[in-house]
């Protein structure tokens, strides 16, 4: 069982160090846990029964497929990531990486695989680097631990912990009342609620959980509206011209609260980040210099929860991971003392940058508990973080 006091224990176990000046630190290994790129809406992401006064805009690709715009955005951010890693001493800024020095792993979904392939094109053009992945319908425990049954997950225990963490589904919906009202105005269905009627509830469902109610319905719609904007659709098509970037950021709270259920409660974080967290530690210990794990927003938010951090980013609701958003974890070496440390960052691109295919990147330091003022000793971090992962 994962004790709820482990977060406090993590802070006690990891010593902060004040003597490692930034100029003394070089990156030895790095792992990037990343969400796939801009895509068309998923099947059912706008729930059946959702009422609108006008038809939804038509996308140029099939459901769930990464768009050409999304692929290009990934190529651009990969170029930026390569320059960042080069500036930190991990690799050269150009040319093909040394054999065995990089690894790219994607989940089994076509959108994750296509995203990883696009990222590789930008990271190392014309270098013929492979993307590793399992084939559908296999469940990869790194990215889908519940479906893969990678841990001894107890759905009843999960529901109890979710209700403790959120105060219950009715309270969560009440917490988002203003955002739900804004969404209704954007949908423009007239009188009443535009969302399909469903009581807020969370229940055990085999080796998983099932959420119903307004957060379940609204979270996907909020994401679809954001994707319209990021894709570069004309503003009169983004939410039928009834919402701007600031409003989309507000609606992002509805999508973020999906993860308040599925990944952020301690029990869910321990299981959702289980194989992912161990893969990260294994890579930082003796893997390639750089590894990309291309998955989904659930993977990024689960990792953040297991680390004990929130994910704020310019233009987005906190913990609403945009397409291409990623957590970068680095193992550092102090060139003077030889001691090793860990550093974590949240890397995103602002909405208008993604919309316009720009190169601007936001890199937000993540203050892991116990590491407020300086990097943490790596060995202590690895031991404490490993204790937070379910088996």
* pLDDT tens, position by position, 69-89: 999 999 999 999 999 999 999
Note whether residue 229 is domain-resident.
Answer: yes
> Radius of gyration of the chain from Cα atoms?
21
Note whether residue 1 is domain-resident.
Answer: no
**pLDDT at residue 14 tops 80:** no
Minimum mean pLDDT range among 167-176, 209-218, 363-372:
363-372
**pLDDT at residue 12 tops 90:** no
Determine the structural domain holding residue 91 and report its residue range: 6-149+268-387
Whether residue 352 sits in one domain with residue 303: yes
Final residue in a domain of this structure, among 221, 238, 263: 263
pLDDT-derived band at 372 (thresholds 50, 70, 90) equals: low
Whether residue 163 sits in one domain with residue 114: no
Whether residue 322 sits in one domain with residue 196: no
| Span between the terminal Cα atoms of the chain, in Å | 9
Note whether residue 227 is domain-resident.
Answer: yes
Quick one: what percent of the chain has pLDDT higher than 70?
Answer: 93
Minimum mean pLDDT range among 4-8, 146-150, 354-358:
4-8
Q: What is the CATH number of the domain that holds 301?
A: 3.40.50.1240
Final residue in a domain of this structure, among 217, 236, 263: 263
Whether residue 191 sits in one domain with residue 143: no
pLDDT-derived band at 13 (thresholds 50, 70, 90) equals: very low
Final residue in a domain of this structure, among 263, 285, 304: 263
Whether residue 273 sits in one domain with residue 252: no
Q: How many domains does the chain have?
A: 2
pLDDT-derived band at 192 (thresholds 50, 70, 90) equals: confident
pLDDT at res. 4: 43
pLDDT-derived band at 374 (thresholds 50, 70, 90) equals: low
Whether residue 126 sits in one domain with residue 97: yes
What is the average pLDDT score of the chain?
94
Distance CA 182, CA 173 (A): 14
pLDDT-derived band at 375 (thresholds 50, 70, 90) equals: confident
Cis ω before 9 (30° cut-off from 0): no
Note whether residue 208 is domain-resident.
Answer: yes
pLDDT-derived band at 22 (thresholds 50, 70, 90) equals: low
pLDDT at res. 373: 52
| For range 318-338, the mean pLDDT | 97
**pLDDT at residue 8 tops 50:** no
Whether residue 294 sits in one domain with residue 361: yes
| For range 206-213, the mean pLDDT | 96
Whether residue 238 sits in one domain with residue 301: no
Note whether residue 361 is domain-resident.
Answer: yes
Note whether residue 18 is domain-resident.
Answer: yes
Whether residue 112 sits in one domain with residue 25: yes
Question: Does the predicted model carry a pTM greater than 0.85?
Answer: yes
Token digits of residue 117: 């392939």
**pLDDT at residue 270 tops 90:** yes
pLDDT-derived band at 176 (thresholds 50, 70, 90) equals: very high
Whether residue 290 sits in one domain with residue 143: yes
Whether residue 310 sits in one domain with residue 281: yes
**pLDDT at residue 10 tops 70:** no
Note whether residue 373 is domain-resident.
Answer: yes
Quick one: what percent of the chain has pLDDT higher than 90?
Answer: 91
Q: Are 298 and 147 in contact (CB under 8 A)?
A: no
Whether residue 256 sits in one domain with residue 272: no
Which residues, including other chains, have CB under 8 Å from residue 198's CB and lie 6 or more apart?
Answer: 212, 213, 214, 216, 217
| For range 174-195, the mean pLDDT | 94
pLDDT-derived band at 2 (thresholds 50, 70, 90) equals: very low
Higher pLDDT residue, 303 or 5? 303
**pLDDT at residue 58 tops 60:** yes
pLDDT at res. 190: 86
**pLDDT at residue 1 tops 70:** no
Q: Are 388 and 1 in contact (CB under 8 A)?
A: no
């Amino acid at each position: 069982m994962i004790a709820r006091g482990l977060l406090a224990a993590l802070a006690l176990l990891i010593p902060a160090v004040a003597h490692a000046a930034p100029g003394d630190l070089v990156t030895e290994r790095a792992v990037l846990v990343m969400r796939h790129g801009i895509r068309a809406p998923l099947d059912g992401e706008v729930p059946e029964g959702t009422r609108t006064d006008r038809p939804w805009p038509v996308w140029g690709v099939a459901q769930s497929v990464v768009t050409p715009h999304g692929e290009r955005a990934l190529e651009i951010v990969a170029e930026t990531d390569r320059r960042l890693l080069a500036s930190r001493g991990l690799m050269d800024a150009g040319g093909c990486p040394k054999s065995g020095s990089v690894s790219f792993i994607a989940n089994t979904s076509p959108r994750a695989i296509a995203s990883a392939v696009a990222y590789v094109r930008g990271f190392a053009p014309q270098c013929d680097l492979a993307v590793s992945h399992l084939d559908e319908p296999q469940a990869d425990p790194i990215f889908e631990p519940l479906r893969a049954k990678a841990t001894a997950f107890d759905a009843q225990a999960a529901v109890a912990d979710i209700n403790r963490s959120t105060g219950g589904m009715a309270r969560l919906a009440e917490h988002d009342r203003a955002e739900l009202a804004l969404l209704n105005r954007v949908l423009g269905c007239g009188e009443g609620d535009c969302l399909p009627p469903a009581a807020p509830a969370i229940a055990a469902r085999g080796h998983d959980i099932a959420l119903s109610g307004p957060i379940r319905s609204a979270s996907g719609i909020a994401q679809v509206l954001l994707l319209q904007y990021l894709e570069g659709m004309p503003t009169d098509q983004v939410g039928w011209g009834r919402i701007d970037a600031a409003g989309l950021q507000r609606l992002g709270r509805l999508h973020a609260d999906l993860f308040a259920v599925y990944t952020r409660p301690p029990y869910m974080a321990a299981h959702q980040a289980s194989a992912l967290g161990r893969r990260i530690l294994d890579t930082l210990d003796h893997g390639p210099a750089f590894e990309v794990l291309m998955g989904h927003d659930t993977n990024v938010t689960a990792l953040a929860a297991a680390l004990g951090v929130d994910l704020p980013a310019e233009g987005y609701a906190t913990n609403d991971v945009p397409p291409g958003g990623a957590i970068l974890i680095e193992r550092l070496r102090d060139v003077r003392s030889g001691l090793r440390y860990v550093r974590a960052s949240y890397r995103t691109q602002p909405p208008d940058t993604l919309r316009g295919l720009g190169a601007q990147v936001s890199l937000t330091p993540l203050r892991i508990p116990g590491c407020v003022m300086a990097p943490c000793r790596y060995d202590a971090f690895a031991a404490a973080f490993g204790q937070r992962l379910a088996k």
